[in-house]
Amino acid sequence: MKDTEPSKNEREFLLEALREGARIDGRKFYDFRTLRISFGSDYGAVEVQLGNTRILAKVSCEVIRPYADKPTEGFLSFSTEISPMASTVFEAGRQTDEEVLVSRMIEKAMRRSRALDTEGLCIIAGEKVWSIRVDIHFLDHDGNLADAACIAAITALMHFRRPDVTVVGEEVTVHPIEQRNPVPLSIHHIPISVTFALFDKGERMVVDPTYLEEQIMEGDLALTLNVHKEICALSKAGGMPLELEKVVQCSKIAAVKVQEITEQIEAALAADKKKR
């Protein structure tokens, strides 16, 4: 992947290919790149590769005191890190606009849509709840960080197991994984982000843009849906305006892609479960 601005020839070649109904990597307009999901030895450690974009997600948990106004609700938080290792366009310790946008999108898609049952994280009301944290590390950047991060985050949450607990009065015993089988999190639904890159004033749209396509696109639209076709989040961060009809068209395409990706995630989780 190159981190320099695309040349005039690269721009013209990509745009001409789109006008001819082709993408320079051979995909059709609404095709995702190959998705690979692999799991670490620990529960909640997931590496997602979307084409050449690679992301690692790791889930951890701890017991803390809940907010006074939400005594039976646990916590779900996300932390993102894009290091220069992913791309030289990023600087260590300095958040880029892209990283902020990705963080907000994941926050909306996962937390605000209540994908995770936070009330199921309560141990003792008003005293002790589980706090779940998802750390997302961007390892290789070749475009569409948002969709890859969303897939990594929800897959990691579905794969994660928290320690079992015993409550006797006010006494809480957290059992090590070696002593008792850990407990899966309660996931209400699986939000998946589908990003569209827009070209030629919205006349041409492609799904899952590469880094080169992102540099040349005139705007983008990210839709987060689940298999029930419920829109969990919509992000249109600048760029060219989009007619309502185009948004509706994108939502129909996204619904099909969400179904496909959800099936891939569930198949990967089932295969990993058999191995353990």
Dist. CA 221–CA 124, nearest whole Å: 42
Tens digits of residue pLDDT in 142-180? 999 999 999 999 999 999 999 999 999 888 999 998 899
Q: Is residue 16 part of a domain?
A: no
Phi, psi dihedrals of residue 135, rounded to the nearest 5°: -95, 125
pLDDT at res. 88: 58
Q: Is residue 12 part of a domain?
A: no
Q: E strand or H helix at 263, and its extent?
A: helix 244-275
pLDDT at res. 92: 61
Ranges of the chain whose pLDDT falls below 70: 1-4, 83-96
Q: Is residue 150 part of a domain?
A: yes
Give the sign of the dihedral formed by CA 222, CA 224, CA 227, CA 229. Answer: negative
Dist. CA 258–CA 26, nearest whole Å: 21
Number of domains forming the structure of the chain: 1
SS3 track for 78-144: EEEEECCCCCCCCECCECCHHHHHHHHHHHHHHHHCCCECCHHHEEECCCEEEEEEEEEEEEECCCC
Q: Is residue 1 part of a domain?
A: no
Q: Is residue 20 part of a domain?
A: no
Dist. CA 125–CA 234, nearest whole Å: 34
pLDDT at res. 2: 45
Dist. CA 105–CA 150, nearest whole Å: 8
pLDDT at res. 87: 60
Q: Is residue 17 part of a domain?
A: no
Domain assignment of residue 88, given as a range: 25-275
- Please give the C-alpha separations between residue 61 and each of 72, 131, 156, 174, 203, in angstroms, as whole numbers: 17, 5, 13, 12, 46
- Please give the C-alpha separations between residue 111 and each of 218, 251, 261, in angstroms, as whole numbers: 29, 21, 20
Dist. CA 86–CA 138, nearest whole Å: 6
Dist. CA 253–CA 241, nearest whole Å: 19
Q: Is residue 102 part of a domain?
A: yes
- Please report, for the domain that includes residue 174, its CATH number: 3.30.230.70
Q: Is residue 9 part of a domain?
A: no
